[in-house]
Amino acid sequence: MILVIDAVNKPKFAHVLDEMFRLRARVFGDRLGWQVEVVDGRERDVFDDLDPAYAVGLDEEGHVVSCVRALQTTGPHMLSDVFFDILDGEPPLRSASLWESTRFCVDTQRLGRGRGRNSVSYATCELMIASLEAAKRAGVSDIVTVIDPVMDRVLKRSGNAPYDYVGRQADMGKVPALAALLDCTDERIERIRAFSGIETDVFIPDEAALLLPAIAGAGTRKTPLEDYCDEQIATACNARERIDAMRLKAALADRVRSHSDISA
């Protein structure tokens, strides 16, 4: 089941994002040996502060088993700001209909071998289907994805072979990185579905995800600041006061919200 988290619903899923950053630390920091910064067991970079969209794979319990991150190529993204070696000094592609996908990974510890529901192969395909379908629904026609040769092979073996590459292979720490192009078309999605045997809807709605044990158990506590703001809005005597209270909450939005992300 894939949960899509962005700026709109992230206050509800701070715990899921935290688990995702830990998974990324284990995969990119430990297992793959990429040049990434791991702090306190979590791998985060500046692009995570820009409110990207994440597609996060959850198991039946609500634990994170896979994830990928998407950014618009019209704004700051990794190919323009970090992976410019791949582009050999050339300016990156910039288009409303092109998204960049980075940090694709699955949890090989929690998942098993084979092709069943709790296998690495299933989780990988489920996440690929979700990424393409979410992009397509957003009116995005193509994805440029920064991957290593291992992931490149995984894509090719799953009916999801890139149709081309941009730039050249460049060294990123222990491993080379490359930028591959994927079209968000029904044909590609169909190939991955046929390969994996996944026929059902891969997305889980917010309300259903909130009921999964690991997520319901973690709760979504409000910060004291948010409590205070809501109380001020509720107890306002007139419209003027109410709007002022709401303006205060909006002005403090960053602090009201982001606290829950950090503390979870």
Partner 1 sequence: MDPIEPDDADKTGRRFRRFLDTVRERFELDHVAYAGINPVTGTSHGFMTYDIDWSSHYLENKFYEIDPVLHKARQSIAPVDWARLERGAEFQTVFRDARAFGITDRGLTIPVRGPFGDVGGFSVLRDCPRREWEMLLGGIIGELQAAAVHMHDTIIRSEPLSRVLNAPSLSTREIEILQWTAAGKSQQDIGDILSISHRTVEVHLRSARQKLQALTTPQAIGRAINLGLIYPR
Closest distance to partner 1 from the beta carbon of 93 (Å): 4
Written as one string, the DSSP assignment of the chain is -EEEE-TTTGGGGHHHHHHHHHHHIIIIIIIS--S--EETTEE--GGGGG--EEEEEE-TTS-EEEEEEEEETTS--HHHHT-HHHHTTPPPP--TTEEEEEEEEE-TTTSBSSSSTTBHHHHHHHHHHHHHHHHHHTT--EEEEEE-HHHHHHHHHTT---SEEEEEEEEETTEEEEEEEEE--HHHHHHHHHHHT--S--B--HHHHHHSHHHHHH--PPPHHHHHHHHHHHT-SSHHHHHHHHHHHHHTHHHHHHHHHHH-
Of 70 and 154, which CB lies nearer to partner 1 in the complex structure? Answer: 70
| Residues found near partner 1 in the complex (CB under 8 A) | 4, 6-9, 51-53, 70-76, 80, 87, 90-99, 134, 137-142, 163-164, 166, 181, 183, 233-234, 242-243, 246-247, 249-251, 253
CB-nearer residue toward partner 1: 175 or 246: 246
CB of 179 to partner 1, least distance (A): 12
Task: Please report where in the chains the tokens 């000094």 appear, as a residue.
Answer: 89
Q: How near is the Cβ of 70 to partner 1 at its closest, in Å? A: 6
CB of 4 to partner 1, least distance (A): 8
CB nearer to partner 1: give 93 or 198: 93
C-alpha triplet 263, 100, 81: angle, nearest 5° = 80
Q: Which is nearer to partner 1, 38 or 225 (CB)?
A: 225
Closest distance to partner 1 from the beta carbon of 91 (Å): 4
For residue 227, the minimal CB distance to partner 1 (Å) is 14
Nearer to partner 1, 47 or 122 (CB): 47
Among candidates 35, 29, 30, 26, which has minimal Cα distance to 176? Answer: 35
Q: Which is nearer to partner 1, 90 or 201 (CB)?
A: 90
Report the residue number, 57 or 167, with the smaller CB distance to partner 1.
167
**CA count, 13 A, side-chain hemisphere, 123:** 27
Q: How far is CA 132 from the centre of its chain?
A: 13
